[in-house]
Amino acid sequence: MLQAALFDFNGVLVDDEQLHLDGFNAALAPAGVIVSLEQYNERYLGFDDRGAFVAMLRDHGLAHDDERIATLIRAKSVVYGALAARSLTVFDGAALLLRSAGDEVPLAIVSGAMRGEIDVALRLMAAAAVPRVIVAAEDVRACKPDPEGYILGLSRLGALVGPLDPARCVAIEDSVAGVQSACAAGLRVIAVAHTYAVDVLRAAGAHAVFAHVREVTVDDFHALVSAAEVHGR
């Protein structure tokens, strides 16, 4: 029986990766660093802000001390906030799936996004009260593909509703790093091919892959857990 649902945020609920890239590039412009969309998708997608800035600076042979990273995160947050206020796009069907899942089981958001960014999008989706738990970038030390965020999400949900079996909980992700993170936490994983190809997400370990989040229903969450129980895995 399905016990809980855990949703990624960027790339699953909101189509904002271009806004993030614009924010990264604006913050890095004084250092002469420009990241292309292709580079971002291949190298940095799935990182939280801290991890992305560290990787970007390191890849360009630049210092990446904590003070510099903190300054860049603040600068990027300002740019992202301004862009999101004007042009944040919610994926078709995302709000419906989020609310439908939340009506049936305890639900968490587990994301590398900053909490303020998540709060803005949830209000836009009229779903601010749906997640019982939000695990944001500020809450973890290691970003995806490390499983820390999902392990913390399960722990916090469990503290509210009782112990959870990860194999009876479903995560929905869109990135290779996200799929790997959720699998490493022992979750069943649905992936949506918004950014990565279907075969790439399957190769990363996703148990089911859909072309778009609008195609996913809560019945698919139940079916994934039921299939695992029948086959004993």
Check whether residue 116 and residue 218 sit in a common domain: yes
- 90 with 84: CB under 8 angstroms? no
Instruction: Calculate the CA dihedral of residues 218, 222, 228, 232 and round it to 10 degrees.
Output: 160
Is residue 96 located within the same domain as residue 203?
Answer: yes
* pLDDT (tens digit per residue) in 122-142: 988 899 999 999 999 999 999
Q: Which domain holds residue 181?
A: 4-15+89-231
Co-location of 82 and 98 in the same domain: no
Using only C-alpha atoms, the chain has a radius of gyration, in whole angstroms, of 17
Same-domain pairing of 38 and 72? yes
Q: Return d(Cα 52, Cα 42) in angstroms, integer.
A: 12
Kindly report, residue by residue over 43-91, the tens digit of the pLDDT.
998 788 999 999 999 999 999 999 999 999 999 999 998 998 888 999 9
Kindly report the CATH number assigned to the domain that includes residue 205: 3.40.50.1000
Q: Please say if the pLDDT value at position 167 is more than 90.
A: yes
149 in the same domain as 55 = no
Assessment of whether the complete model's pTM goes beyond 0.75: yes
Give the confidence band of 198 by pLDDT, cuts at 50, 70, 90. Answer: very high
pLDDT at 195 > cutoff 60: yes
Domain count, the chain: 2
pLDDT above 60 (res 22) = yes
Encoded tokens for 3? 């016990």
Predicted pLDDT at 232:
61
Q: What is the mean pLDDT of the segment spanning 90-109?
A: 97
- Across 140-153, average pLDDT: 96
9 and 21, same domain (yes or no): no
Which of 213, 221, 1, 202 has its CA nearest to residue 101? 221
Q: Note the pLDDT of residue 233.
A: 56
- Whether residue 147 is predicted with pLDDT greater than 70 in this model: the reply is yes
Domain boundary among 87, 105, 131: 87
Predicted local confidence at residue 45, as pLDDT: 85
Average pLDDT over residues 155-181: 97
The pLDDT assigned to 124 comes to 84
Residue bearing tokens 């075969």: 199
**Which string of DSSP letters, residue by residue, matches 160-201?**
HH----GGGEEEEE-SHHHHHHHHHTT-EEEEETTSS-HHHH
Q: What is the CATH number of the domain that holds 70?
A: 1.10.150.240
Q: Which of 82-86, 144-148, 166-170, 182-186 has the lowest mean pLDDT?
A: 82-86
